[in-house]
Structure formats: structure tokens, C-alpha cells
Amino acid sequence: MSKLETPGAFDLDALRRADPDGVNDTESSRAPVEVSELARQIARQYSEANYSPAIVVGQLRFLEVIALFALALAVNFTIADAPLGHVYEGLAAASGGSILALILMQITDCYHVSVLREPMRSMGRVLGSWTVSAATITLLALFLGAQNVQFPSLLTAWFVVGAAYLLIERNLIGFAIRRWGRNGVMERRAVIIGGGKPARDLARALEQQPENDIRICGIFDDRNSERSPDVVAGYPKLGTVAELVEFARLAHIDMLIISLPLSAEARIMQLLKMLWVLPVDIRLAAHSNNLRFRPRSYSHVGAVPLLDILDKPIRDWDSVAKRAFDIFFSVLALLLLWPVFIATAIAVKTTSKGPILFVQKRHGFNNEVINVLKFRSMYTEMSDPSARNAVTKNDPRVTPVGRFIRKTSIDELPQIFNVLRGDLSLVGPRPHAVAGQTRDKTFSEIVEGYFARHRVKPGVTGWAQINGWRGEIDTDDKIKFRTAYDLYYIENWSLLFDLKILLLTPIRLLNTDNAY
């Protein structure tokens, strides 16, 4: 059995291994291929980022627990003769009842998107869970001998108010989800790769699923119109697979579904070699293949099985946790380092003409161009916004102050504001300049799969930097090793890994051999 046919043994390293001769042979790592006008028009419809269903459902859980707890407090302060009497009993009952209601609604499947979309069909389960929760808290209060004589009436009022809240709130949420679904705001945007009958059968199978949250944005196929129709099951063929890479970035695509038989392994591997650089889930349609893999190898859209090939890194709640990590430590850094900011700004301004900050265009998440902030370290008239000519040792363009702040990486500190703005993360692959190159070759021409670095937000510091790969990139090996460390970070990310890199950064920066 081949590697592709063996669940859990998909060889990602084989896809991203650089060519020994430094020659890139995949179109995905070169300059993006322009998409057709039709594809561009469709991409404009999805220019706004969509909401992750997992995030929306998680936020709803949090909202309902907090709301039910707040309603208990409101009832107590409105009805009770002595609102502050037996306060600990009231807090215990409110928190216990709210959490128990959440658990029961989770057990009875009240948090599926399909259930939330049609709230009245599940309202019996929602109110039933709330009733059982309130009844349980009432029985516990009686059994434990609650001291507050108003306890039964307070619990009854809380039950009524809570039930009314859930009824109104669930209908409002249902209306919002249906509206978001119509507007494509809260659906997973997918593209089918491959045309003909397999793609038609897949599209129709997905459409028939009552719990389908997939929006098919189009079909991409390398075959011409004679072998692959221009319209399949009502969906237009938007271009070739090479054009798909750019379309997926423009349209914020969430999922690529390869509609090819498993026997076409060579073609599937060729497609994956082009597409793995994108921050998307990649699935292989399994409904038309007689596949018999372990259940954990599959994800499902309704009853349609999809074989999981690659997952988007740092997704859903992981991305929320990473964002909270970034904000917390960025604010902490500003509180601790503000004297360094002020001293550096004064030094830059008083020792050479020009602005304090330097703005440079660099590649960010999903290969988008962002404006990155730095303390200016060069003479203004000699600055190189494109970074086409890398800074070298004893570079005459660098000011005396600039030489010091570059060696100590103080020039990078303003990027904390990029982190707070959401362009960067504190930890991640370093953002390279858009025109960055080694001698006469761009980085993407040297490293196959170079743009896979952009599947996550770039960082102020990174795994490559604390392992000594910082400073001038004057050889092919330097960018190859940096990319290898960046990809290792992406594939092994965790908050503890981020914390380790962050804590090691000040120590490793003491080595200034490669910083000019």
C-alpha cells in the first residue's frame, strides 16, 4: 500500500523538500498566476473573511452561561428582600445551574449549526435541558437545607426569566445564522478540484445534506472544455489548478476538495505539491471511492465522507488562544520597554535627518502584503524600502545608531504595534520583504514551497531566529534553512512552543554575529 493510501502516513516532508540544485519546479512557489476575470469577479463576492462555525458556537456557549448567571443575579437583586443575604448560596446556585444547563444542552446536541439555524425545531431540547438544570438545583437546595426562605421563589423566577431568554436569544441567533449563511459569512468556502462526473456527483451529494455548511465557490480543472465541461452541476469552471492558488487567497477559501479516484495517486501528489502552501483544509472526496480507512481518517459533511489529507494550521480556538497570547505579552512588553522606545526614538531623530519610523512592505498571512514598522536605521536618502539590496557588514547606508539598534534588534520593537493591529504575531516565521532575494534570485525561486511560510501570521521573533538564522541572507542555504525551521514551527505549534521561543529570544539575541 502506498503512502497516500495509508492513513496517517501522508509524507508532508516529501512535498516541501527543496530541490537539491536549488531549482524550483512547482508553479505554486513562483509568482502567482493571474486568475480569469470570471474567477476574480466571484472572488470579490468573498473578499470579506467569514466566521468560523466552531468559533461562533463556542462564543454562543460562553454567552449563554454568562447570560443565565447574570439573570440569576438580576432576579436576586430585584426580588429578594435582602439581596446581599446568603450571597454565597446564591452564587453557587447561579453558577451551578448555568454550567449544568450548558452541559445538558451540549449532551442533547443543541449546539450544532444545523440546530441553531432552525431554533424552533430544537426548542424542546433547549427548554428541557434548562428545566432539568433548574429542577436539579432546586432539589439540591432543599436537600442541603438552604437558609434563605425565599430560595424557591427566586429559583422559580430565575427559571421563568431564563426560559424566556433562551427562547428569544435562540430565535435571534437562528435569524443571524440564516442571514450569515445566505451572505456566505458563516459557511466553509470550498473549491472542487477536478471536473466531469466525479465532481458533479460530489457537488450534488453535498447539496443534498441537511447539515451542509459548505459553499462551493467553483471548480478548477487543468483539462480543456472537451474533456471537462465549463459548468458542472451548476458550478462554473474557473480555471486551472495553477490559478487556484491565487483564487484561494483572494476568496478566503477554507477547503479544497480533490474529486479524483484514489487510483490517480500520481496526479493527486502533483496537486498536493502545488496546493499545500495554502492555509486551507485539503480533503479527498471519498464518496465515490471504495475506501475502508479508520473512522478518524475521515471528516464528514452530513453523510458525505471526506478523507483528511492536510489541515489548516492554528485554526478556530487555537487562533483565539494565540491572539490572546499576543495581546497579553505585547501590552506587557510596552509597559516594560517604554523607556527603550523613547530613548531609541530620541537617538534616531537627533543623529540623522528623517522620520523616526521606517515602513516596509512585507509578505504577511496568506501571502498578503502588509506594512511593517521599524525604527529607522539607515540614512533617509539611502534607504531601500523594497529591501532588494540586503544590508551587509559595515554597510555605509546604516547610521551609527542604526548599527547598534540592528545588532540588538531594538529596531524591530515597533512591530509590537503591528501585533496589536493584527498584522503580525509575536512568534512566527519572520516576514520577508516583498522583493527579498539572494543575488539574482527571489526566495521563492530558491526554495520549493517557500510560500508555505505564510500559512500562519508572521512573527516579530521565530524559531529560525533563536536558532541563529537571522541577519543577512546572502546564500541559498540560509533561506533554505530559515524556511525549514519556519515550517517545523508551523507543523509543531503550541502555546508552550510560543512561550519557549519568546523567553529564549532575549538570550539568543546576545549573539550578534549575523546582525548588521
Per-residue model confidence as pLDDT tens digits over 87-115: 677 788 889 999 999 999 999 989 888 78
* Residues found in the chain: 516
Q: Cα(33)–Cα(28) distance, rounded to whole angstroms? A: 8
Record the cell numbers describing residue 343, joined without a space: 530613548
Distance, CA of 152 to CA of 139 (rounded, Å): 10
CB 195 within 8 A of CB 185: no
Which cell numbers in the block locate residue 161?
426569566
Contacts of 224 (CB under 8 A, 6+ apart): none
Q: Which residue has cell 520593537?
A: 413
- Lookup: cell for 122: 430544537
Tell me the CATH number of domain 12-50+187-312, given options 2.40.50.140, 3.40.50.20, 1.20.120.1200, 3.40.50.620.
3.40.50.20
The confidence score (pLDDT) of residue 28 equals 43
What backbone torsions phi and psi does residue 266 show, to the nearest 5 degrees? -60, -45
| Helix residue ranges per DSSP H, 408-448 | 415-421, 443-446
Q: Hey, where are the domains in the chain?
A: 12-50+187-312, 53-183, 317-508
Task: Report d(CA 26, CA 228) in Å as an integer.
Answer: 23
Which pLDDT value is given to residue 22?
A: 39
Residue 260: DSSP 8-state: S
pLDDT for 248: 87
What does the DSSP assignment read for 291-319?
A: ----GGGEEEETTEEEEEEE--SS-HHHH
For helices 241-250 and 37-45, the axis angle rounded to 10 degrees is 30
Confidence at residue 229, expressed as pLDDT on a 0 to 100 scale: 78
The answer for 184, left when phi > 0, alpha when psi is -120 to 50, beta otherwise, is left
Looking at residue 29, its pLDDT comes to 43
Give the pLDDT of residue 372: 92
Q: Going by C-beta distance under 8 Å and a sequence separation of 6 or more, which residues neighbour residue 176?
A: none
pLDDT (0 to 100) of residue 7: 36
Give whole-number Cα distances, 66 to 97, 140, 177, 273, in Å. 11, 21, 21, 46
pLDDT for res 171: 94
Taking Cα atoms as reference points, which of 472, 489, 482 lies closest to residue 447?
Answer: 482
User: What is the model's pLDDT at position 6?
Assistant: 34
112 SS3 class: coil
**pLDDT on residue 2:** 38
**pLDDT recorded at residue 141:** 73
Average pLDDT by consecutive 10-residue portion of the chain (516 residues)? 38 45 42 76 78 84 93 84 64 89 92 85 92 89 64 85 94 89 78 86 83 83 78 86 86 87 77 86 74 60 78 87 94 94 93 89 87 89 69 78 87 94 93 74 77 90 86 76 91 93 86 57
Neighbours of 516 (CB within 10 A): 18
Long-range contacts of 165-170 (CB under 8 A, 24+ apart): 165/67, 165/68, 165/71, 166/64, 166/126, 166/127, 166/130, 167/123, 167/127, 169/63, 169/64, 169/67, 170/116, 170/119, 170/122, 170/123, 170/126
Q: In the prediction, which pLDDT does 182 show?
A: 74
| Strand, helix or coil for residue 239 | strand
Q: What is the DSSP letter of 377?
A: -
- pTM reported for the whole predicted model: 0.76
CA distance 100 to 379: 64
Q: Which phi and psi angles does 434 have, rounded to 5°?
A: -55, -40
